[in-house]
A and B are shown apart, each in its own frame.
Chain A
Amino acid sequence: MKRVTLELGGKSPNILLDDADLNKAIPTALGIAFLNSGQACVAGTRLLVPKKRLDEVKRALVDTMPAFPVGDPADPKTAVGPMVSQKQYERVQSYIRKGIKEGAELLVGGEGRPEGLEAGFFVKPTVFVNVNNDMTIAREEIFGPVLSVITYENDEDAIRIANDTEYGLHAFVSGTDVQRARRVASQLQAGRVAINGMLDDQQAPFGGFKHSGLGREFGTYGIEAFLEPRAILE
């Protein structure tokens, strides 16, 4: 008999509430999406935005992209480095092609290597808009710097879309009214929900709901995974 702890993948939602300050929320959203060059299980790769603010969000995303340069990982200014291998490069390319084929609209990035970076396994940091939550790029973990922007009607709709996934490792909520952000966070099916940023606490449990895994790591939760209770009765 085995006891098993598994931390698997994610397709984490980042709900941008309609009171979010885009000057903060968009750099945060791109930072979460492109974390570790997108090769992060916790990456927030579905950005859920209120339909009425989509145009503003698109402009803010395009304007913020220069803050996430792709290039030599040794350069402290570089935000997105190469993919780990040729195979991972190809995997990311195949998802970008699927996104285009399934009708998502490229806002920035796209197929192929960025200019001047032909030698390594570099991909173009990519943002898709007009993504439907049923598209492959919204359902499967890409493990590369590819962000899908999905619109919603109201908070309930955002929560429904956020939870409409096989995964449940992480979720993010961005907004100005913290009480409201907490209300939304408490309805998300994810092992961790971070409000206004990519946050960490090494005592907080880390692991996933649904297909994102079994059990938890970190803190007392992580230690308990390696322990078995024994009762001695007299």
Chain B
Amino acid sequence: MNAMTSKVAIKTITKHYIDGAFVECHGRELMDIINPTNGEVIAHVTLADEEDARRAIAAAKQLFPSFGRTTKEERSEILRNLHNAVSARIGDLMDVMVEEYGGVRQFAEPIVQSGADVFLAAEKALHELPLTRSWGKTTVTLEPVGVAGLISPWNANTFFLCMKLASAVAAGCTVVMKPSEMSALQTRVWLECVHAANSRRVFATSSRAAVMSSGPNSCAIPTWPRSPSRVRLPSASRSCATVPRR
């Protein structure tokens, strides 16, 4: 047991990704990440508090006016960059899904690949979706709804993060994402992909497509309804609430 613990260095996750940068968590509550295959603690994650959620929401709100005005072509470029960045880390994303979640390799491989591919699927859908229709003297445009709050479950972390981000970016929404705290290691690798995609940006706005907090406490959720003017569209997928706390 001791040999095993000393062999695997315990990782720590203490940062969120807000406005293109990894920033220290304001919250102080710690949670263990346990490898479900052997029951060993493999990481400690610092959970977000309401202040962290407020900072993420404020950044997303500030970025929305410019991002909401991007063209289909600009959003397509961001989606392709995200696809490339996630594709470049498929192996790492699979490995961390196996380690942290206990996902079987048979499933981890296709579902992580599916996450990479969903950005291209969203790009295709964006091009098929008419954002402007007009008749007579009337013009109807489809406008991004605002800051999107994206809550995702622990059972296919990379896939759900990719899928929700892809649709929101295609629509022109900035986002605040709340992945499961049990997926903190997986989210960290995924955020490195997002960061890499942004560093290759073509448009100034591309660095602003994603505003999110990594591994926050579920208390981030109830803070949103208290900011009714900010987060316009919560989108949630559910897995069972099984969060161990200490």
Bound Cα distance from A222 to B103, whole angstroms: 26
Stretch in A98-106, A147-155, A225-233 touching the partner: A225-233
B145, CB-defined interface residue at 8 Å: yes
Q: Is the beta-carbon distance between B98 and A231 smaller than 8 angstroms?
A: no
- Give B contacts to A, CB under 8 Å: 34-39, 98, 101-108, 111, 114, 117-118, 121-122, 124-126, 128-129, 131, 137-145, 148, 154-156, 163-164, 166-168, 170-173, 182, 225, 228, 231-240, 242-244
Main secondary structure of the interface of A (DSSP, over half): loop
26 intermolecular pairs with C-beta atoms under 8 Å apart: A7-B236, A36-B111, A73-B98, A73-B102, A73-B108, A79-B104, A83-B36, A84-B239, A85-B36, A86-B34, A88-B240, A120-B37, A120-B39, A121-B36, A217-B163, A222-B122, A223-B129, A223-B170, A223-B171, A224-B129, A224-B142, A226-B145, A226-B167, A227-B142, A231-B138, A234-B137
Bound Cα distance from A6 to B149, whole angstroms: 12
Name the contact of A74 in the complex, choosing from B98, B117, B164, B232 (C-beta under 8 A).
B98
Bound Cα distance from A124 to B76, whole angstroms: 45
Q: Beyond A9-B238, A223-B126, A232-B139, is A83–B145 a contact (Cβ under 8 Å)?
A: no
Q: Is the beta-carbon distance between B38 and A120 smaller than 8 angstroms?
A: yes
- From residue A37, how far is it (CB to closest CB) to chain B in Å? 6
Residues 71-95 (chain A) with a chain B CB within 8 angstroms? 72-76, 78-88, 91
Q: Give the chain B neighbours of A85 by CB distance below 8 A.
A: 34, 36, 182, 242-244
Give the number of A-B contacts (CB < 8 Å). 199
Q: Is the beta-carbon distance between A72 and B37 smaller than 8 angstroms?
A: yes
Q: Give the chain B neighbours of A232 by CB distance below 8 A.
A: 138-141
Bound Cα distance from A203 to B139, whole angstroms: 27
Q: Is the beta-carbon distance between A37 and B121 smaller than 8 angstroms?
A: no
